[in-house]
């Protein structure tokens, strides 16, 4: 995911929260890769 100017930070926090609440497995969360520039 290209997170220019931290645009997707809320979505990434949602994923992290889902892992914390055991709604999403951490192995699946780790599939989402993040970079701030191409």
Q: In this predicted model, what pLDDT tens digit does every residue of 9-36 receive, in sequence order?
A: 999 999 999 999 999 999 999 999 999 9
The total domain count for the chain is: 1
Residues 6 or more apart in contact with residue 30 via CB below 8 angstroms: none
Q: What per-residue confidence (pLDDT) applies to 5?
A: 95
In degrees, to the nearest 5, what angle opens at C-alpha 35 toward C-alphas 38 and 22? Answer: 150
Q: What per-residue confidence (pLDDT) applies to 15?
A: 98
Confidence of residue 38 (pLDDT cuts 50, 70, 90): confident
Cβ(8)–Cβ(14) below 8 Å: no
């Amino acid at each position: 995911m290209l997170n220019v100017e931290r645009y997707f930070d809320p979505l990434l926090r949602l994923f992290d929260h889902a892992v914390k609440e055991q709604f999403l497995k951490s192995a699946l969360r780790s599939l989402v890769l993040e970079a701030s520039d191409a």
